[in-house]
Amino acid sequence: MVNETQCVIPVIQSPQDYQVFRISPEDTNRLAIVFEPNNANMSLTFCVEIFDVGGKTPPNRHQLAVEMFFVLKGEGLATCDGKTVPIKAGDSLLVPPTGIHVIENVGKDRLYALCIMIPNEDFAELIKSGIPESFDAEDLAVLGRLDTLVSH
């Protein structure tokens, strides 16, 4: 039964609301935070990860968190605990806790992936400790799905 005396107002974010960071100057990927513990009121991080051509994450692992990726655009390689698989737009990837993993862009264009980590495990804080960046026209076209529009 629905309790009509309570109304849950959803949190809505748009690309202009996202905070974009490069964790360190030598990183070849940027992360745009969509939801994190402060605005989601729960222990998760949801971001868009943007990999430059040839870009990749440093090898990393999470003690408790499950990390999930959904590839929006581009092609890459996902490696976890020594096993490598190709990934492309439409593919999903789940990295279990403690899996040492790397995502690498092997395409001729940028690689864009949605990334969700549950629980947060200080991921949002790590991202926000990095160097503030911004979106360019290509990023905004992908995020707004303008890159998929076909003129007739």
Range of the domain at 43: 27-129
pLDDT at residue 152 is higher than 70: no
Question: Across residues 52-77, what is the average pLDDT?
Answer: 96
Residue 148 lies inside a defined structural domain of this protein = no
pLDDT at position 108 is 97
Eight-class DSSP state of 73: E
Write out pLDDT tens, residues 69-114: 999 999 999 999 999 999 999 999 999 999 999 999 999 999 999 9
User: Which amino acid is it at 118?
Assistant: I
Question: Across residues 127-134, what is the average pLDDT?
Answer: 96
Residue 152 lies inside a defined structural domain of this protein = no
Residue 49 lies inside a defined structural domain of this protein = yes
Angstrom distances, CA of residue 36 to CA of 89, 91, 113, 136, 141: 24, 23, 17, 23, 23
Cis peptide before 132 (omega within 30 of 0): no
Sheet holding 131-133, edge to edge: 92-95, 66-73, 111-118, 45-51, 29-35, 19-22, 131-133
Q: Are 110 and 100 in contact (CB under 8 A)?
A: no
pTM, two decimal places: 0.89
CATH number where 93 lies: 2.60.120.10
Residue 4 lies inside a defined structural domain of this protein = no
Question: Across residues 127-138, what is the average pLDDT?
Answer: 96
Rounded-to-integer distance, Cα 58 and Cα 152, Å? 42
Residue 51 lies inside a defined structural domain of this protein = yes
The total number of structural domains in the chain stands at 1
Residue 31 lies inside a defined structural domain of this protein = yes
Q: What is the mean pLDDT of the chain?
A: 91
Residue 137 lies inside a defined structural domain of this protein = no
Question: Across residues 44-64, what is the average pLDDT?
Answer: 96
pLDDT at residue 2 is higher than 60: no
pLDDT at residue 1 is higher than 80: no
Angstrom distances, CA of residue 49 to CA of 3, 26, 78, 133: 38, 16, 14, 13
